[in-house]
Structure 1
């Protein structure tokens, strides 16, 4: 038997996580900016390092955006009363799975 979901607690935790990700996104904005290739002030290796850093920051941002979308979908399921139910098979998602990933949309069987 599963314990009832505390909607307010889950919503608060999801919103907090979303805010943290949005804050990280704002902080890393400069790292994702276009790298200027000024050969007079920066050597070739430094430019390569800057381009690699930019690519890594952009990849991190893409992952943050995906996570934010998952959080928003979880908040919508929470509003609609479908939170904790697998969107694929309709079975309950295990409590431990939801603890590990508040935005989980699939039960372990459907996720694998």
Structure 2
């Protein structure tokens, strides 16, 4: 179903597309920086001992959790791009009403209007 997006002319659609693509590029850069932290923890006999290994394992665990958050953000951004192409971008998935432009500017992955998101 094709809907006419509220005041969503091509320049606004292009701006949102650019915002989303810029965030995806930033995630790619963050991925590159975070790869070392996710590497297998090697047992270093020269280190202080068990505490050093535990610290390394904790750092690895945090790096993996951060990567999982970036992956979830990437999926949400890609879904927003798909909604933009399908002309569903900017409409609440629950009630079908328009999502405020300011909300979309803050979070282009928003899929619900404020009322639905807050449970009203």
Same fold (TM over 0.5): yes
1:16 aligns with 2:19: no
Q: Which of 61, 70, 73 matches 2:67?
A: 61
**TM-score, reference length from structure 2:** 0.84
Which consecutive unaligned segments of at least 5 residues does structure 2 have? 1-5
RMSD: 1.6
Partner of 1:41: 46
Distance 1:88 1:29 in 2: 37
Structure 1 unpaired stretches of 5+: none
Higher RCO structure, 1 or 2 (CA under 8 Å, sep 6+) = 2
- Corresponding residue SS for 1:102: coil
Following superposition, which runs of at least 4 residues in structure 1 exceed 3 angstroms of deviation? none
Q: Which moved more, 1:90-99 or 1:7-16?
A: 90-99
Map residues 87-106 of structure 1 onto 2, 5 A cutoff. Answer: 87-106=93-112
> What is the aligned partner in structure 2 of residue 4 from structure 1?
7
Deviation (angstroms), 1:4: 2.0
Question: Which residue of structure 2 lines up, in the alignment, with residue 70 of structure 1?
Answer: 76
Moved more, 79-88 or 101-110: 101-110
With the length of structure 1 as denominator, give the TM-score of the two structures: 0.90
